[in-house]
Amino acid sequence: MSLLGAVEELGELAHAHLKQEQGIRGTAAEHEEKAKDAVADVVIFLSDYCSKRGFEFQAIIEKTWAEVKKRDWRKNPLDADQKAAE
């Protein structure tokens, strides 16, 4: 259920973002609060998912971030592939 919860919350985040961009069905501040809540809920659900699967959430984030922050979208705008840049 935690994976489905994360997906549902991601949908809520997209909804809040879209409505804020469109300037409809609420104020910008209301949409921003909904977006923040959805972000937190996604993280909580994914953390629970990792716990149930025996994955170490923090280690996954750190490992992936170490790779992502090396990417250079200016030099390689199609995929930011570091191997192509080297």
23: phi > 0 → left, psi -120 to 50 → alpha, else beta; which? left
Query: What is the domain partition of the chain in residue ranges?
Result: 1-55, 56-86
pLDDT: is 76 or 28 the higher one? 28
Mean pLDDT for the stretch of residues 78-86: 63
Average pLDDT over residues 1-12: 97
Average pLDDT over residues 64-68: 93
pLDDT of residue 85: 46
pLDDT of residue 82: 62
User: How many residues does this entry show for the chain?
Assistant: 86
Whole-number Å distance between alpha carbons of 44 and 10? 12
